[in-house]
A and B are shown apart, each in its own frame.
Chain A
């Protein structure tokens, strides 16, 4: 039976293989892959392992890896993959702030092409002209979208870009002899946690501004904390609430007036691509996540990419090298006299850079703006309907939002005792994912929805139908939710051991030590 088109609910069941842990599948003597042998002459001239590696440093005990034939290995991991819900499979709007969108397959074709996969990062620049051209051109597009002067793609993700922004900030003030004095970085509670955390890695004291009743940080609060100790403001806009801060220019000016720098966290640019830019608001630095706005898939948590741009004054501090063009050929440019050095090896995550480039070329200037407009339309469509769902509400007033909304199940919780986590678990039974958002839970019982341009109206309606159904169940049969999931790969997880040092097991061998051996002892005693 196909999905009920009236209720828009699916009679879904995820693959459940009851698959053992790989170590339980070992079959001694089997081989998954064989290694090319050294030729007889090579062995004769080089010698054996015993002569080539001193006994003291030679491995004594073979690693206890599983022994499996090739298809056996393949089948195991195929099954694990079937127990995972990629964005290709679901209406992935429930992971708000993360900008889940379509990752075009044509880009995968070339990200997996030997002309890219078999490149070594230290090849002579004459042999990587295609890769450099692609990188250089992508930089030109990023400059257009931000108004900034130069971009690096070295960071392996948004947080590493924040680390790089912090490092640039540090080098900038050191160059002005103010390194010791400028020891504070200001951020806001609805900016990504890494805006605070990655800045703290470099020794900065973090000042966090909280939101007012309108959900926005207060300009007066900022004015109260800036001083000659202010190194920078790192801020997202719109923040995780999806509310655009119309005073952003004044925020930037306030920090500039005391001599600080402003870094714009545009990990998620999706609602405002080509609508408003970092430069017009006065920012000195900004970064985009290539795996969010620019379509590269998330890979279960990377590999990712962060495109970090800076104003002219800060170019000399960028991590090196950059891809440059002399009018005839592309070259690897290490000529940055005050470079912070590096944040990641080599020149960035090439397959991710290619995917971002491919997406931009496919949608073009027109499509970039249309993507933003449709993302915002989709978001306000969801907002309109979610506000009507019993027990759900959008935090911070009834206006429109940009690309996402931080919602709350607080009413549902007060009425029924059902938490945001309960709802999220029950959603899995319908093949949907709903995220309970980042800490801290300032919005009580939070959930964040971000319906990017990649979803059709029909899909949004389907997601809404599931939300409505779960809310309905909460009011009519809360026990149903408390015992969920029913159609997932597994049942309610016992989280207690995961925070208990006596029981937590981060590897199979720890599990054997802490759980299995203990059981054996108990059995023996019995």
Chain B
């Protein structure tokens, strides 16, 4: 330890340590640890590699490690299921990398004015997209957002059962179930052949103890639910809340859920200017109208605009901070901490760049390209797209059941041709053995889709 000087640890220089110890009047750094009982001291040798003192060594090591990955840019990828490939505008990366934001944290609105303002803008831009009035500083992901919307509904209605559509991401469902375990009953609602809510089953299950119904639009399988108002009316008639999960990138062309009766709308901003990041680019939003009964129930930070002691100057701060767990611990609303704020900032840059025309155009091109892919894949003998006749957005289920090959085999063969096929639903969704969820967005060209189709065709033909 004696000659250890590390660039990340300025006071690892021993002469400085001596100087500081002398000022403190301590004999050695050991003095500060006197309070830790001998018995609890770790006396072994940490089995952790030696330092890489030179940055060149770290650089090479990380490069070599990452070079073992094969990415969605090295191959042609059709994976979605909660993390989808979209173009990331270069200015989104530029702002994401600004170290004022990247290394900022929790300053006051005086030294961190920019953080408050940019997240206020994020909330405001999302609110325009969602046609609602309140949006939170992002939470961990869309699944956490959905879980919180369910617990908000529990507190607002004082009811302890939640209905959930079966056409939901299996991951999201796992998260919701865990989040509700011990406090709420989770009941699944059936879907029709297209994957839309079964009205009959919903009606039957809407009982007086039901806090609300959570469904996604588009559903996990990409199907668009066009009877949102009818669903909301049924729920509202029973005194429950309509909870809708949506994909914000669809909202240039799909109606905002609030306009078909949704009370709390949630989702993930992952596609809005944020890279896939192996699933590390997720950030959840929760949106409502500006009524106290809703605002009171948010666990998240909500940044608000106000004025200052100088005429005309905007000021910012936390709205109704006392509802949070920072102030109220277990009596606060769920919990708040460090979640995913930077991705909210990036999403603001994205929405600011896209504008209304960009959001409309991207929605249109996604439905066109995904429909083109659906048509082409469905035309392959033995391959069937589920629910072909229903409108879809971005994702769709391809059934390989009649090909004589499993979805796993097909994906393996696709991978050999440098294509990442759809997410294999076999062990994740009932009734979806040998089905795969494909995702097609604006980044896919006709040539990409044709290449997929031709490759699937030859795999199926050659059996």
Q: Which B residues are CB-close (under 8 A) to A41?
A: 446
B254 and A157 contact, CB distance less than 8 A = no
Q: Could you tell me the distance between the alpha carbons of A302 and B1 in the complex, rounded to whole angstroms?
A: 34
Given known A65-B128, A130-B65, A131-B278, contact A119–B368 (CB-CB < 8 A) = no
Query: B404 interface residue, CB < 8 Å from A?
Result: no
Partner of B354, one of A18, A65, A126, A496: A65
B67 and A130 contact, CB distance less than 8 A = yes
Task: With both chains docked as a complex, state the minimum distance between the C-beta of B421 and any C-beta of chain A, in angstroms.
Answer: 9
Query: A64 interface residue, CB < 8 Å from B?
Result: yes
Which residues of chain A (212-257) have a CB below 8 Å from chain B?
243-244, 246, 248-249
Query: A466 interface residue, CB < 8 Å from B?
Result: no
Query: In this complex, what residue of A is CB-closest to B78?
Result: A120
Task: With both chains docked as a complex, state the minimum distance between the C-beta of A430 and any C-beta of chain B, in angstroms.
Answer: 10
B85 and A301 contact, CB distance less than 8 A = no
B171 and A346 contact, CB distance less than 8 A = yes
Q: Could you tell me the distance between the alpha carbons of A90 and B110 in the complex, rounded to whole angstroms?
A: 14
Query: A333 interface residue, CB < 8 Å from B?
Result: no
Query: B462 interface residue, CB < 8 Å from A?
Result: no
Q: Which A residues are CB-close (under 8 A) to B118?
A: 77, 80-81, 84
A31 and B357 contact, CB distance less than 8 A = yes
Partner of A345, one of B42, B83, B179: B83
Query: A425 interface residue, CB < 8 Å from B?
Result: yes
Which residues of chain B (99-147) have a CB below 8 Å from chain A?
99-115, 117-121, 123-125, 127-129, 131, 133-135, 137-138, 140-144
Per the CB 8 Å criterion, the residue count for chain A at the interface is: 224
B361 and A35 contact, CB distance less than 8 A = yes
Q: Could you tell me the distance between the alpha carbons of A108 and B343 in the complex, rounded to whole angstroms?
A: 16
Q: Which B residues are CB-close (under 8 A) to A46?
A: 367-369, 371-372, 375
Task: With both chains docked as a complex, state the minimum distance between the C-beta of B279 and any C-beta of chain A, in angstroms.
Answer: 3
Query: In this complex, what residue of A is CB-closest to B5?
Result: A370
Q: Could you tell me the distance between the alpha carbons of A100 and B367 in the complex, rounded to whole angstroms?
A: 45
Partner of A170, one of B182, B343, B353: B182
Q: Could you tell me the distance between the alpha carbons of A110 and B253 in the complex, rounded to whole angstroms?
A: 36
A345 and B171 contact, CB distance less than 8 A = yes
- Of B199-207, B237-245, B322-330, B395-403, which binds chain A? B322-330
Q: Could you tell me the distance between the alpha carbons of A133 and B316 in the complex, rounded to whole angstroms?
A: 44
Q: Which A residues are CB-close (under 8 A) to B365?
A: 35-38
Given known A144-B47, A364-B51, contact A59–B355 (CB-CB < 8 A) = no
Query: B11 interface residue, CB < 8 Å from A?
Result: yes
- Of A2-10, A308-316, A451-459, A470-478, which binds chain B? A451-459
Q: Could you tell me the distance between the alpha carbons of A25 and B65 in the complex, rounded to whole angstroms?
A: 44
Q: Could you tell me the distance between the alpha carbons of A501 and B37 in the complex, rounded to whole angstroms?
A: 52
1/0 per residue, CB under 8 A from B, across A163-188: the answer is 10001001000000000000000000
Q: Could you tell me the distance between the alpha carbons of A336 and B70 in the complex, rounded to whole angstroms?
A: 27
B33 and A275 contact, CB distance less than 8 A = yes
Query: B222 interface residue, CB < 8 Å from A?
Result: no
Given known A133-B68, A493-B306, contact A506–B114 (CB-CB < 8 A) = no
Q: Could you tell me the distance between the alpha carbons of A210 and B357 in the complex, rounded to whole angstroms?
A: 57
Query: A522 interface residue, CB < 8 Å from B?
Result: no
Q: Could you tell me the distance between the alpha carbons of A200 and B183 in the complex, rounded to whole angstroms?
A: 10
Query: In this complex, what residue of B is CB-closest to A199?
Result: B330
Q: Which B residues are CB-close (under 8 A) to A42?
A: 368-369, 372, 446, 449
Beyond A82-B100, A439-B328: 16 further Cβ-contacts under 8 Å? A21-B117, A45-B372, A57-B226, A84-B107, A84-B111, A86-B104, A95-B105, A118-B276, A156-B140, A200-B331, A203-B182, A300-B105, A301-B339, A345-B282, A361-B51, A380-B32
Q: Name 29 interchain pairs, CB-CB below 8 A, sorted by A.
A: A22-B352, A35-B365, A37-B365, A49-B368, A53-B224, A63-B256, A84-B104, A85-B111, A120-B72, A121-B276, A123-B77, A123-B420, A128-B69, A156-B339, A167-B178, A244-B36, A276-B36, A300-B101, A345-B279, A347-B279, A361-B52, A362-B6, A369-B1, A380-B24, A433-B108, A494-B315, A506-B133, A510-B127, A513-B133
